[in-house]
Structure 1
């Protein structure tokens, strides 16, 4: 199989809008060529010299669709890499740029003879291209030259790694420029949107490179013919991906409590748009997942965490309980330094309690703490289980007993839960079990007092 090429010469690489582009004269030559994938660099250079009628070729360059920078070919090793890329998709037409002089300049397109060479692998379906008519009236002249506030310069041929990245950049653009769009068509190969205001000329169309998942901008009309005076209570493009993009930096400060009401207020001040508390909550949840990972991934890394914890903290004890199908049930963690501190320095009092978790997988947090002479507490062990029942407490206390042993003078303080009482009698039969005065007071409060308190 031969590699099909279109050879461009008479141009050079220039910086256009912050990007390297091959800029050539309008009368420069463009020649078709087919080569064998085993042709040497010297033979290829000789063939190109004959085609381009040039003896001053300094280097060759090519550009892949998913790369923003050109790749140079100056020897056989570089040419072999190009052959490997080309043979992966033999049906594509590759562009080969002939450079007859070194250096990179800049262009402002003030010379009418300059143009950007097109990408030959884009589908040129003319019915999907929007022709911008500069003479079309615009009811609001203040938006005639809409500023491009997005971090991406949308233009035909711009490539996105996937569809989600493209939708994120579009959402950011709409949020920054205060307009909304509606989806006209969305599939694995196409994505077409238009301004939410009926009759507006703003259009965006993109297509994918086969089944690769890579999308490129096919056509884009960035001029609004609507007045932009129609506002909506909540911006639909402020989806979780867009909101999360702007919340990742503030949420890196783990000590900050960033509430949804504060997020709504910040978006109102920064972007002059209104988002709901639901949009803020979903965006915050996604931002935290992007920064910290998902709860499911965290559970999957639990064995590795326990292993490293025991190695980094000598004397630490960890246990993971699973069912017959090796699904997670409970985990127990006791730090070695806390165990030694309790045995050597603290009172022989262990206070145990549990609290319900509110994460994705719910569950219950089990905790055992010690107390020193100044009534300061120190966590001895903690664990996570499904529910606060007798079986869970028995397993947790049995692992605690393996760490601290059974001391006859020791006392365990808890609330009046029957599950705790049974577990203590089974695991620590010779230890005094007392009840927390605070829990007793709350449980023995008269009904009339409870009504007054409400």
Structure 2
């Protein structure tokens, strides 16, 4: 029954009661006792309305905003936070924003109490679990400081790497942006007046990367899923994932279906190289590439291993040969890493193995760099000579620069 209808009926019952009282009407019980007419129905409706309003009030109390973002400018009594970690991050951000420090007086699974670092200050925040849920409610808050907080505190105890990581994580959403630890140090000093060392800035960077891109450990666990989806999206793609006896990642080899389709139309010249992976676990990314008819890079395969060593390069070249074979007149070019030289001789005994001109140029610059641009021009001329006579002509030019260059080459 609607509340409005109940109220109308209760009002009518009250009018009837008044009329009966004015007319002196009464009713007699079985015992013969006279009692005035009492509208019991109206009492029941009133009780119902009071009970309904109480329930509504309780529901309104339960429907409160739960704070999940640490970027809060004001801490107030009654605020409800997603969990304990959220209120801890919020208080740390709030302290840096308002240039003061606090210390933890009590930290339990169900309670969190912090006070100002200055013992004489009254500032205080106490929060606890709310109604047996994970959320934390601010039960008491003394927002005003009685200490001096105008002085910038350099060694800020709330400027922890996880808190700074939360502050800077948006800087790493684009993989093209290079946000360095030095940038973190400068921004924290400019925005919050907090001075930190390079080590803390680096740790903050790692925390931010984990928040944005996930934990490196978890990413290795997702490799089988990634490989499966890669094959579904690119039919014909071949992958090899090698793990150790404890089922931990060791090597990975990938070549795409389009690479196997296109490589047979290219010149049989393969360039291989390895580069460091800049993550928590390190490792090396291997690559094998060719040049197409427009001299654009055409990727043959990728590999990931622990480092550039004999075993890893031997495994990569073995997989590369299984994929593409050994075409006639094959030439392989690389830097002068000894492990590459060993693996090429074992896997491709009939292939020509040459040294990368760019790598040789960098080595010559480090040894005889005083000649600068002239050295670079003469070496490029030697490398691009098509006859022995032409090559010797340019080599004599290098001899005039430094007679130690010819024996080195």
- TM-score, scaled relative to structure 2: 0.69
Deviations 1:182-201 (A, max 9, x none): 12222333322111223011
The 5-angstrom pairing of residues 198-347 of structure 1 reads: 198-208=119-129, 213-344=134-265, 346-347=266-267
The 5-angstrom pairing of residues 365-384 of structure 1 reads: 365-384=285-304
Q: For 1:274 and 1:413, locate their aligned partners in 2 and report how far apart those are by CA, in whole Å.
A: 48
Quick one: which of 283, 295, 311 aligns to 1:363? 283
Matched pairs, number: 327
Tell me how far 1:174 sits from its aligned partner: 1.1
Match of 2:286, SS state, is strand
Q: For 1:369 and 1:377, locate their aligned partners in 2 and report how far apart those are by CA, in whole Å.
A: 7
**Unaligned segments of structure 2, at least 5 residues:** 1-42, 373-409
Q: For 1:164 and 1:408, locate their aligned partners in 2 and report how far apart those are by CA, in whole Å.
A: 63
Contact 1:63-1:69 at 8 Å conserved across structures? no
- 2:64 matched to 1:68? yes
- 2:37 matched to 1:53? no
Which is richer in strand? 1
| Structure 1 residues 57 and 206, CA gap change in structure 2 (3 angstroms) | closer
Contact 1:66-1:159 at 8 Å conserved across structures? no
- 2:348 matched to 1:348? no
Quick one: which of 356, 374, 380 aligns to 1:436? 356
- TM-score, scaled relative to structure 1: 0.63
Tell me how far 1:243 sits from its aligned partner: 1.9
Match of 2:271, SS state, is strand
Q: For 1:66 and 1:237, locate their aligned partners in 2 and report how far apart those are by CA, in whole Å.
A: 32
Tell which structure's C-alpha radius of gyration is larger.
2
| Structure 1 residues 389 and 450, CA gap change in structure 2 (3 angstroms) | same
**Unaligned segments of structure 1, at least 5 residues:** 1-48, 71-148
Tell me how far 1:361 sits from its aligned partner: 0.8
Tell me how far 1:338 sits from its aligned partner: 2.9
Q: For 1:227 and 1:233, locate their aligned partners in 2 and report how far apart those are by CA, in whole Å.
A: 15
Q: Which has the higher contact order (CA 8 A, sep 6+)?
A: 1
| Structure 1 residues 434 and 194, CA gap change in structure 2 (3 angstroms) | same
Contact 2:269-2:332 at 8 Å conserved across structures? yes
